[in-house]
């Protein structure tokens, strides 16, 4: 039993090195896990129950109004066996790092992403911004940032750790040159899997 628990804790707290893609314009996954949704953001609204036409606001989700009102929201579910160290999707400066107090509901409940405790990190590369939202769950009571507001990050650099099974969402801007590379059901690795490519930054 002790050996099994030790092995489980080792798996949970492991932090392997990752080979970060060098392709120009690549935006990488901030988390290990499975893509659970890719939702459009239109005029600051995100679909919640598409059949009923229900939406929720981006501002309510991130508790900030510095992100664009159009774009894409990608949700990544992490289970307790995934690596729980999160990484920066792109190189840039941390424009905003905000801890949003909240509840610790099960992420199976739809309202949890709006009501649960979470940490918002906005990264600015000088051309556009990306938001990373680490969301706590019923089992997760601590999100540990490794960085500070104003810090400059490299693509794939460690952002922080979120304990046990949880969720990380990514807010991407609406840009004609931005091509989304993931669909629901895909398995991702933090720092290595490409979420999207900004074609204007790619070589001719």
Smallest Cα–Cα separation from 132: which of 111, 105, 157? 157
* Catalytic center residues: 166
The DSSP annotation for 77-121 comes to EE-TTS--EEE-SSSEEEEEEEEE--B---TTSTTHHHHB-EEEE
Whole-angstrom distance, CA of residue 144 vs CA of residue 192:
21
Beta bridge partners of 27: 196
Q: What is the largest CA-CA distance in the chain?
A: 57
């Amino acid at each position: 039993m002790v050996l099994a628990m030790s092995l489980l804790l080792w798996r949970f707290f492991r932090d392997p090195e990752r080979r970060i893609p060098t392709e120009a314009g690549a935006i990488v996954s901030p988390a290990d896990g499975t893509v659970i949704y890719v939702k459009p953001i239109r005029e600051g609204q995100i679909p919640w129950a598409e059949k009923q036409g229900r939406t929720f606001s981006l501002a309510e989700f991130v508790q900030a109004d510095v992100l664009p009102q159009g774009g894409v929201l990608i949700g990544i579910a992490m289970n307790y066996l995934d690596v729980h160290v999160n990484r920066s999707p792109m190189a840039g400066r941390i424009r905003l790092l905000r801890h949003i107090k909240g509840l610790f509901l099960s992420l199976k409940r739809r309202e949890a992403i709006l009501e649960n405790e979470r940490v918002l990190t906005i990264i600015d590369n000088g051309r556009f911004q990306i938001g990373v939202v680490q969301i706590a769950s019923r089992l997760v009571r601590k999100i540990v940032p490794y960085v500070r507001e104003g810090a400059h990050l490299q693509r794939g650099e460690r952002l922080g750790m979120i304990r046990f099974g949880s969720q990380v969402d990514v807010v991407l801007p609406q840009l004609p040159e931005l091509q989304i590379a993931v669909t629901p059901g895909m398995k991702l690795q933090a720092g290595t899997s490409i979420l999207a490519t900004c074609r204007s930054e790619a070589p001719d």
